[in-house]
Structure 1
Amino acid sequence: MPEERSYHHGDLRRAVLDAALDVIATQGVAAVSLRDLARRAGVSHAAPAHHFGDRTGLLTAIATEGHGLLADALAGADLREMGVRYVRFALDHPAHFEVMSRTDLQHRDDPDLVAARDRAAARLRAGLDDLPAVRHGDADPELAALAAWSLAHGFAALHLAGRVPERPDHDPEEIFRALTGFLFR
């Protein structure tokens, strides 16, 4: 007799998101399939599509969640500490970070994604007031934001790729603080 599946799941949306994050963290985003995630959640192969529509919808939901988590992580910090928190976010949430960085995998105009992305960007822009050149109108705030984001994102991506040399006396946050020290002297 075939195994009977229960189609009543406590929180299928969360279960599928968590399973997808696990797959991305261990096998990469290319390994994500709704059918596999349904199997992992013990539901019909069509059930995840009811929540996300398709694979791109699922990845959009992951990116949306990631931007929200990032915005929360950046709250209340000065610009330098925001960079440290950005790096910590990437290291603590590598699957979110990967999907957030891959806009080709997302429904870029999804209203929830746009709102979450804008909230995270607004937090970063708020920290730019710490830069004297921005405060005094000597620097373009958009370019200053891009520079700050590039530094934190680049370091996080390099670290996740195993390209940052191991330093037994420093954790990634301390290494990033040292890097920003070169710029904020």
Structure 2
Amino acid sequence: MLDATIAAIQEGGPTGLSLRELARRAGVSHAALTHHFADKAGLLTALAEEGYTLLADELAAERERSGDFVELGVAYVRFAIKHRAHFEVMHRPDLYNRDDSALAAAQARAEAALHQGLSMQAGGRPGKDVRLAALAAWSLVHGFASLWLNGMVPSEYAEDPDASARAIAELLIRKG
């Protein structure tokens, strides 16, 4: 079901989904789909949860691999591009059940992965507002990812999103 949902979102975005069409694509009955996901919000909640889990895994792997906060930002952009359907739903809380406990746990895990990377970057310096810095860093990479996905990045920066995200993060995080 989630694979059919991802394909449908990639074709037409998350707002126009039809459960009947998704059931047809997945080769299951509408009743089977609603048995597992109750409604469209339930299905998109499962997709958002999967997305946050994938994001947390990718951020944790990058933190282990490089230990570099800039590269954590590049991993975020890479995730958005690789998992566009998840990314689009994850950041549209009007589409899913925000109070779902499994979703909240996955969101918290992704946020913790980002904060751990920032704490490593800050070197544990006292007085460092890690939460505000994390919000600023997230704004930077999320904004770039959203611009790239919507075709709004100038052509000279659009060919290699990893390199462009890295250059922007280096400019603002290391020099800022």
Report the TM-score, using the length of structure 2 for normalisation. Answer: 0.90
Find 1:61's aligned residue among 46, 52, 64: 46
Alignment match, 1:110:
100
Q: CA RMSD in A?
A: 1.6
Find 1:35's aligned residue among 14, 20, 26: 20
CA distance in 1, matches of 2:17, 2:40: 8
CA distance in 2, matches of 1:171, 1:87: 11
Alignment length, in residue pairs?
169
The amino acid that maps onto 1:53 is: A
Q: How much does 1:117 deviate?
A: 0.5
Find 2:81's aligned residue among 76, 85, 91: 91
Which is worse superposed, 134-143 or 61-70? Answer: 134-143
2:156 corresponds to 1:167: yes
Q: Give 4+ residue runs of structure 1 displaced > 4 Å after superposition.
A: none
Which is worse superposed, 34-43 or 18-27? Answer: 34-43
Q: Which ranges in structure 2 are unaligned for 5 or more consecutive residues?
A: none
Find 2:113's aligned residue among 123, 131, 142: 123
CA distance in 2, matches of 1:64, 1:84: 21
CA distance in 2, matches of 1:20, 1:27: 11
Q: How much does 1:109 deviate?
A: 1.2
Percent same amino acid at aligned positions? 54
CA distance in 1, matches of 2:107, 2:43: 16
Find 1:178's aligned residue among 144, 167, 170: 167
Q: How much does 1:98 deviate?
A: 0.2
CA distance in 1, matches of 2:72, 2:158: 22
Q: How much does 1:104 deviate?
A: 1.1
Q: Which ranges in structure 1 are unaligned for 5 or more consecutive residues?
A: 1-15
Work out whether residues 35 and 46 of structure 1, in 8 Å CA contact, stay in contact via their aligned partners in 2: no
Q: How much does 1:17 deviate?
A: 0.8
CA distance in 2, matches of 1:63, 1:168: 29
2:140 corresponds to 1:155: no
Q: How much does 1:170 deviate?
A: 5.3
Q: How much does 1:164 deviate?
A: 0.6
Instruction: Please say which structure displays the higher CA radius of gyration.
Output: 1
CA distance in 1, matches of 2:90, 2:21: 22
